[in-house]
Every structure is written in C-alpha cells, then in structure tokens.
Amino acid sequence: MDATPRGLKILTWITFGLFALASYAVLVYAPREAVMGDVQRVFYFHVAAGWVGALAFLVAVIAGVVYLVTKNRTWDTVGLSSIEIGVVFTFINIVTGSVWARPIWNTWWTWDPRLVTATVMELVYIAYLMLRQGIDDPDRRARFGAVYAIIGFLSVPLTFLSIRIFRTIHPVVIGSTDPGAEGSFDMTAKMLQAFMFSLITFTFIYVTLLWHRIQLQHQADRVGQEKARLLAD
Amino acid sequence: MFVQNAPADTTSYMLIGFALIFGTIGLYVLSLYVRSRNLKKDLAVLAEVEPRQED
C-alpha cells in the first residue's frame, strides 16, 4: 500500500499553517472596510479562490498539451486532478461573490457579464468531469480530456476579461477607475498585505490538494489494474 | 443626517461567506480521504482474493 510521501506530509502541514495565518490576516489583521463593513473580508478568499480556479484550468491545458505530445497517462491524471480542484475553487468563488453581492448590490444574483461567464466556465468544467465518466477506453478518455481541457480554457480568459471589456457593475479592484462599478474600494497597506498573503496561501492549498489528488488517482489506477489482472487469471 | 458615518453591519454575510469557504474546502478534503480509504479497502480485498484463487 502506498504511504503518503514525506514531502507531501510536510507540504500539508505548511499549507495548514499558512491557511490558519491567512484566516487570521483577513479576519483580524486587515481593517474593516469603511463602507461595506465586515462582508468585504470575504473578498480576500473570493479572489484567491478565483485565482486557484484559473491556475488549475491553466495547468490542465499544459497537462493536456504534454499528454497529446508524449501520450504519457500521468499527464492525464494531472489534468483531471487539476480540473477537479479548479471546479471546487470556482464554486467557492461564485458562491462567496453571491454572498458579498447580497448586501452590496442588494441581490444574490444578477445577469452581469462576470457572473455569467464565471458560471458558464464552471459548467464547462463540470461537463468535462461528467463526460469523462462515459468513456471506457483509457486512451480515448485521456485524449478527449486533453482536447477538452485545451478548448474549454477559452472560457477562462473570457471570464477574466469580462469586467474589462463589457459594461459591468462588478468591481475591478486592481487597476480600475471605472465609476460604474458598485462595491469597489481602495486597499490600505494592511488590506493589500492580507490580499497578497491569501493569494500565496491559496496557491499552496492548490499545490497540496493537487499532489493528494494525483496520489489518489494512482491508487485508483492500481485497484483497476489489480482487478483486471485477477479477472484475466 | 443622510450621510453614512459608520460601516454597514454586514457581519452575518461575512460569517455565511467564511462558512461556505471553510465548509467547501473541508468537504473536498473529506471526499479525498473517504475515496482513498475506500480504495485501500478495495486493495485489501483484492489481496485477500488472490491467494484464494491460487489455492
């Protein structure tokens, strides 16, 4: 039976510590925003979760390209694992945005370009996970996954750019002067520190979860191979 | 009179937001643990079946 690699154990503890520190930074260290109040604190993890989603889908593209070139199934595992984590964190991004929007925009949901493109992106990748289940042949499944990850990634820059190219009420916190954005604010030094620390912490969470998820897939592959071997005997 | 001079009271929304963040990450970690435990059980069962087949 595979034991958890020592490096993964150390990384898990480091990530756990960083997450505790980041939680302290956003809940205690960062000052309360002058207009929105405490709900603004959700912003730090909201953006960090969105960042992890985009990073995870980008890693899946790279894994997809490398798989198509090398035909090494490990890269299919990396792509699948990355997309699964991306779906979880994009979900966090969308629901925390909705919770923030309720007191600030006075609604849980509005058909704003950013909200729509983010939801479409999430659905594109949920479809990836569902469609994979329907393909039995591992090589075909991996090929399909690689191509889908590459094409599906079009939804990521579209989501990122939606608040910059369309008329929207979603704030662009960094580098924005759009007066139409509702809920934008200027970050103080402490807010910026908490924000950057959250981004770093969530990147660590992503790497840690990805490693765990890849380990899990290796376990699943071994069970599949053992079953096939027993049936063949 | 109509000028807002204190932050809005949005603490309850913050609590909902963080409950969703911690809850979702927690559920995902739990799902990884449960799936791993089930696979280990499967491997143990397969290891048990193998010697019986050899008998």
Contact yes or no for B14/A38 (Cβ under 8 A): yes
Mean pLDDT of A42-58: 97
Average pLDDT, stretch A104-108?
92
A187 vs A116, higher pLDDT: A116
Picking from A39, A213, A233, the nearest residue to B17 by CB comes out as A39
DSSP secondary structure, A55-88, as one string: HHHHHHHHHHHHHHHH--HHHHHHHHHHHHHHHH
Please write down the long-range contacts of A221-228, taking CB distance under 8 Å and 24 or more positions apart. Answer: A221/A77, A222/A2, A222/B43, A223/B39, A223/B42, A223/B43, A223/B46, A226/B43, A226/B46, A227/B46
**CB atoms B10 and A38 under 8 Å:** yes
Closest Cα in chain A, distance from residue B11 (Å): 5
User: How much is the mean pLDDT over chain A?
Assistant: 92
Q: In terms of Cα–Cα distance, which of A8, A26, A5 is closest to A201?
A: A26
- Tens of pLDDT along chain B (55 residues)? 566 677 888 999 999 999 999 999 999 999 999 999 999 999 999 888 876 665 5
CA separation for the pair A154, A157 (Å, rounded): 6
Distances (CA, A) of B12 to A31, A140, A170, A210, A229: 17, 48, 22, 32, 55
Q: Encoding tokens for residue A67?
A: 């798989």
Q: Which residue matches tokens 């979860």?
A: A209
pLDDT in tens, A108-128: 999 999 999 999 999 999 999
- Determine contact, residues A30/A44, Cβ cutoff 8 Å: yes
Place of tokens 């990521």: A156
Residues in chain A whose beta carbon is closer than 8 A to a beta carbon of chain B? 1, 27, 32-42, 45-46, 49, 85, 88, 91-92, 95-96, 99-100, 102-103, 205, 209, 212-213, 215-216, 219-220, 222-223, 226-227, 230, 233
Q: What's residue A61's pLDDT?
A: 98
In chain B, residues with a C-beta closer than 8 Å to the C-beta of A38 are 7, 10-11, 13-14
Convert the pLDDT of each residue in A67-94 to its tens digit. 999 999 999 999 999 999 999 999 999 9
Cα angle for residues A151, A47, A202 (degrees, 5° grid): 85
pLDDT at position B2: 60
Tell me if B20 and A219 make a contact (CB, 8 A cut-off).
Answer: no
Coil, helix or strand for A204? helix
Angle, alpha carbons B34-A153-A217 (nearest 5°): 25
B22 CA to chain A: closest CA distance, Å?
Answer: 9
Report whether pLDDT(A29) > 90: yes
Among A33, A205, A226, select the one facing B7 at the smallest CB separation: A33
- pLDDT for A177 equals 55
Q: What is the pLDDT of residues A142-167, one digit of tens each?
A: 999 999 999 999 999 999 998 888 88
**pLDDT for residue A174 is more than 80:** no
Q: Give the confidence band of A24 by pLDDT, cuts at 50, 70, 90.
A: very high
